Amino acid sequence: MGESKTVHSPLLTYVSMLALLTLCPPFVILLWYTMVHADGSVAITAEYLKQHGLEGLKTIWPKPSLIAWKIIACFAAFEAILQLALPGQRVEGPISPAGNRPVYKANGLQAYAVTLITYFALWWFGIFNPAIVYDHLGEIFSALIIGSFIFCIFLYIKGHVVPSSSDSGSSGNILIDFYWGMELYPRIGKSFDIKVFTNCRFGMMSWAVLALTYSIKQYEENGHISDSMLVNTALMLIYVTKFFLWEAGYWNTMDIAHDRAGFYICWGCLVWVPSIYTSPGLYLVNHPVHLGTPLALLILFAGILCIYINYDCDRQRQQFRKTNGKSLIWGKVPSKITATYYTTSGEKKSSLLLTSGWWGLARHFHYVPEILAAFFWTSPALFSHCLPYFYVVFLTILLFDRAKRDDDRCRNKYQKFWKLYCDKVPYRVIPGIY
Ligand code: NDP
């Protein structure tokens, strides 16, 4: 492959890779500890660490218990079976850099519905109480940290020994190969797609399952669910529902079509998504803020609007590409650029770039409603603690970095045509500002 993906300077790339590999696991544990045992207060945790140092971190780090492993194993096996067994339309992914076209079974929405109904029914009929998941959450995160690390080693070895397609290869550097991954489309057998499992069926699914878990835990503790928790859970569930409605579209995005299966994407989806993305809901379990109906409805409406706009941006781009630029955009014939490029095998291809609608406002405008939606589902926590807003801050950094990575990649791919797009649509994310 030879593509080392060092869009930043090599030194910065190495430092950030090592920092993320070593700092993310303790961060996950500290965030959980602060939310559940330190009243959501960073100051309390900081004081504890100041007094007890690394020994203190070791003391609060939960050991992965048998029940934690069982919960993870049941959930993972259930999702893997649904991914393989549920019916779904045959969908083709985009042509890969090596000229392959992956084929998927689009059954995400069915899997999502079956998962939520099953989880809710297990609680309703007294078979399994989701509050148990909350009570063992530290052990579950701890087990996920270790299990996912081992899984990434498996991906690294598989990429070397039995890659699933020609979209695989080594950069010649073991750290980059482990961190960024070896294979673009790793599979087990012909049809079990590993990235669909890690990113969608485990990562995104766990987000919805944990959102429900936090609501149920609060209900079990207090006998009712606060309006802040209701707004948070509703918005997160609407967001994840939107994701599964559009899952086949997700298979055309950077995560799947460009980022290889390594620590960055897979560990991120297996550990970071369940622990960090869901954290505003985790905070609310012990902080049942009362918003009052007008404020609750206002936040709910603003959040839904942002989720809708984000959805519409993705839909507009995909509809435009699917119809070869023939669909109307905001009631008008779209303005576009036909951009030619070469695959790694030297084949000449072309893509259409939309330069009107949402994609004419800024080259990555869709990140704005994504960040705002996250702000709105966090804001029911109000502003007495900053930690619930960690996800919003993290997402903002992630997406601005992603906008740069994507711009750099597209500039390499489309050359003068990308420059033409930049001349026509000069702002990267926020119209008129950046
Ligand atoms: P996409 O991959 O969907 O869009 C970028 C790609 O689209 C480019 O790589 C390029 O690919 C193509 N493209 C770029 N400009 C145009 C254009 N003008 N017209 C047509 N095609 C174009 O972006 P993301 O994967 O970043 O985002 C997808 C969704 O996921 C968004 O809703 C985003 O908010 C969300 N997201 C959420 C994250 C989270 O952690 N919550 C993280 C990342 C994304 P090509 O090579 O095909 O030309």
Q: What is the pLDDT of residue 10?
A: 78
- C-alpha of residue 370 to centroid of ligand 1, in Å: 12
* Coil, helix or strand at residue 89: strand
Structural Rg of the chain based on CA atoms: 22
Q: What is the pLDDT of residue 7?
A: 56
Q: What is the pLDDT of residue 14?
A: 87
Residues of the chain below pLDDT 50: 1-5
Q: What is the pLDDT of residue 135?
A: 98
* Coil, helix or strand at residue 90: strand
- The answer to whether 187 and 256 have CB atoms below 8 angstroms apart is no
pTM for this predicted structure: 0.92
Q: How far apart are CA 222 and CA 269, in angstroms?
A: 32
- C-alpha of residue 207 to centroid of ligand 1, in Å: 21
Q: How many CA atoms lie within 13 A of 202 on its CB side?
A: 26
Q: What is the pLDDT of residue 345?
A: 77
Q: Residues with Cβ within 6 A of ligand 1?
A: 94, 253-255, 310, 314, 317, 351, 353-354, 359, 366-367, 370, 395, 398, 402, 406, 410, 413
- C-alpha of residue 254 to centroid of ligand 1, in Å: 6
In the 3-class helix/strand/coil scheme, how is 134-199 assigned residue by residue?
Answer: HHCHHHHHHHHHHHHHHHHHHHHHHHHHCCCCCCECCCCCHHHHHHHCCECCCEECCCEEHHHHHH
- C-alpha of residue 317 to centroid of ligand 1, in Å: 9
Q: Which of 410, 424, 425 to mutate to test the pocket of ligand 1 (most atoms within 8 A of CB)?
A: 410
